[in-house]
Amino acid sequence: MRIAIDAMGGDNAPEVTVEGGLAAAAEWKDTEIVLVGDQSRIEPLLEGKQVPANLTIRHASEVIDAEDEPVRAVRRKKDSSMVVAGRMVKEQEAHAMISAGNTGALMTTGLLVVGRMEGIERPALAPMIPTLDDLGVLALDLGANMDAKPEHLAQYAQMGSLYRQKVHNIAEPRVGLLNVGTEAGKGNELTKLAYPLLEQLPIRFVGNVEARDVLTGNCDVLVCDGFAGNILLKAMEGTAGAVFSLLKEQFTKSLKTKLAAAMLMPELRGLKGKLDYTEHGGAPLLGLGGLVVKSHGSADANAVKNAVRQARIALQNRLVESISKEISGK
Amino acid sequence: MRIAIDAMGGDNAPEVTVEGGLAAAAEWKDTEIVLVGDQSRIEPLLEGKQVPANLTIRHASEVIDAEDEPVRAVRRKKDSSMVVAGRMVKEQEAHAMISAGNTGALMTTGLLVVGRMEGIERPALAPMIPTLDDLGVLALDLGANMDAKPEHLAQYAQMGSLYRQKVHNIAEPRVGLLNVGTEAGKGNELTKLAYPLLEQLPIRFVGNVEARDVLTGNCDVLVCDGFAGNILLKAMEGTAGAVFSLLKEQFTKSLKTKLAAAMLMPELRGLKGKLDYTEHGGAPLLGLGGLVVKSHGSADANAVKNAVRQARIALQNRLVESISKEISGK
């Protein structure tokens, strides 16, 4: 199989994308890794390294930046590393693409370059949210579309369930609906209408899940519209961050607290890592005609390599074909 | 002025409502406190106590429970303490009512018994969310209505701004719109349409506020629909709770960690209180023809007294009249 990496995407590109690509190519000899990007910047990074035969470069002269307006950038920068990687997937020159670049632009590349899967109205971005049991929950949609209709939520549920089956090997993933109460009649217009649709699907629907229970990991897939998902994720991130900075403030108050905090440092570090959602690998963009994985903007080489690992598992288990079969019967 | 307390509402009623009412009547001699509820349960609690002349009982034979279906309960239990207190406000026998009872039933009492203010389409529940600077942010709507139209958000903004002015004495409250990004064009259909409406209001609109920044207290009033507000608040609550239970788990791991944690206990306790939203007093139900304040279900006597304090300030500063003037020009 062949996986294209947008070598120019992300805060630390191309250094970490090249390093991650090298590591992936060295580990998985059956996988061709194509680094897509500016040859003159990629090649020096390979100098003096052991370059495996299954690692190649595809030159692309342009770069989409974090500040670029997504739709305009994708339309105009036709030779950008991201768009070229997307075109490779579209034209089946690559089986998957990975990018740590501009999220909006990647979603636009998915829609306009790779293209939607037949029968899917809205592709969804599906990152893992960390949970206390360390298993995480796949949440979708997390920002590909702000508004959603009940039918979209039903498709998210199916796609998320298949992803957890195929990529994470969970036989019957528990699918929950993000809502304001656990009872069936609760919610806004959207979730009230989505509930009966989810009940009818061939998935293991476990009902409504309240925002305060997400961290306890009571479902494997959490379905929500992009707006609510963003509020959820950022509230969790902001609160965890705030608590840790409060702790730091309290713990540096006096010699006594500093001493005690030093004794607890290993435990505190482990705790922070537990709630760091950047550590949870790449987020697939589900519902496209090919496999697209979003790596975090601040991804390091290891995160890039992990995204390749994820893409390989998805490809080996024919994720895209399974979703297509489930949704459109084809 | 006269303030009716639903003496039977809340987890610890009527004990804490009676105690809180007694304390309020003792402190504010210019305020008549009316305890509304079952005389045979209230009177024994007053026995042997110094009962001020400004404390009276209004008998009500029924009680709305936490498990009651709100609309049905309010319609059927016409002699419940909550409905009687609402009727007193409607008929101007009382200037305000306070209840720690069933939230849904209280909102229904507000709508069906007290009645909406002219020109207000949707009354809103407006609790304080704790912030790191301890000043808190008034968030509305937090659950009175799950769905909202852009015009509703505009009314929430006006009502919230007036509340902060009149009750918290903030000259120009900063009003923010809960959204997925800080730029003006961000959001779902609702927030995109609400943004220009908020810009045109005679308030200090500070733009979009992301969920992760709410805790840092960058606005005094946070406007959102009831669904998004619920997701925000419960995500914050759940994450803070989870971090503290993780801390506890880590800190009881070994003798060393237990010792260190014991040294930090005063600091840890202060931290927990900082993020406990139950400590932040009563939440007004804004947009009604009279003043209704929701006290937390687990309110203690002090919380009940604080709700009286809040109601007094709102009445003294003619909050309801100000909102009416601003919204309908009357």
Quick: pLDDT tens for A96-155: 999 999 999 999 999 999 999 999 989 999 999 988 888 899 999 997 789 999 999 999
Percent of chain B at pLDDT > 90 equals: 77
Closest CA to B176 of B133, B231, B138: B138
Residues of chain B with pLDDT under 70: 276-280, 330
For chain A, say whether B264 makes contact (Cβ under 8 Å). Answer: yes
User: Shortest Cα distance from A223 to chain B (angstroms)?
Assistant: 13
CA A282 – CA A17 distance, rounded (Å): 13
Q: Check: CB of residue A291 under 8 Å from CB of residue A282.
A: no
Interface test with A, best of B267, B274, B275 (most A CBs within 10 A): B267
Interface test with B, best of A188, A245, A254, A276 (most B CBs within 10 A): A188
| Shortest CA distance from A265: residue in chain B | B257
Q: Check: CB of residue B141 under 8 Å from CB of residue B148.
A: yes
Identify which of A227, A237, A271 has the shortest CB distance to residue B247.
Answer: A271
pLDDT at B269: 78
Q: Is B213–A238 a contact, with Cβ atoms under 8 angstroms apart?
A: yes
Contacts of B274 in chain A (CB under 8 A): 246
Q: Is B211–A232 a contact, with Cβ atoms under 8 angstroms apart?
A: yes
User: Shortest Cα distance from B187 to chain A (angstroms)?
Assistant: 7
Query: What ipTM was reported for this prediction?
Result: 0.90
Count A/B contacts: CB-CB distance under 8 Å: 167
User: Shortest Cα distance from A29 to chain B (angstroms)?
Assistant: 41
Q: In B117-169, which ranges are continuous DSSP H helix?
A: 150-168
Q: Is A215–B180 a contact, with Cβ atoms under 8 angstroms apart?
A: no
For chain A, say whether B261 makes contact (Cβ under 8 Å). Answer: yes
Q: Is B250–A271 a contact, with Cβ atoms under 8 angstroms apart?
A: yes
| Shortest CA distance from A130: residue in chain B | B239
Q: Give Cβ neighbours of residue A145 (< 8 Å, ≥ 6 apart).
A: A122, A124, A152, A225, A226
For chain B, say whether A259 makes contact (Cβ under 8 Å). Answer: yes
For chain A, say whether B66 makes contact (Cβ under 8 Å). Answer: no
pLDDT at B49: 92
Identify which of A147, A212, A257 has the shortest CB distance to residue B264.
Answer: A257
Between positions 168 and 207 of B, the ones with CB within 8 A of A are 178, 180, 187-189, 191
Q: How far is CA A104 from the centre of its chain?
A: 13
Q: Is A250–B271 a contact, with Cβ atoms under 8 angstroms apart?
A: yes
Contacts of B215 in chain A (CB under 8 A): 238-239, 242
* Token digits of residue B3: 């303030």
Q: Is A257–B263 a contact, with Cβ atoms under 8 angstroms apart?
A: yes
Contacts of B260 in chain A (CB under 8 A): 259-261, 263-264
Identify which of A234, A240, A261 has the shortest CB distance to residue B211.
Answer: A234
Q: pTM for this one?
A: 0.92
Residues of chain A with pLDDT under 50: none
CA A304 – CA A228 distance, rounded (Å): 28
pLDDT at A245: 83
CA A141 – CA A224 distance, rounded (Å): 6
CA B229 – CA B142 distance, rounded (Å): 5
Cα–Cα distances (Å) from A325 to A162, A204, A318, B47, B305, in that order, read 11, 18, 11, 74, 62
pLDDT at A141: 95
Q: Is A261–B260 a contact, with Cβ atoms under 8 angstroms apart?
A: yes
pLDDT at A278: 57
CA B69 – CA B289 distance, rounded (Å): 24
For chain B, say whether A260 makes contact (Cβ under 8 Å). Answer: yes
For chain B, say whether A211 makes contact (Cβ under 8 Å). Answer: yes
For chain B, say whether A222 makes contact (Cβ under 8 Å). Answer: no
pLDDT at A253: 82
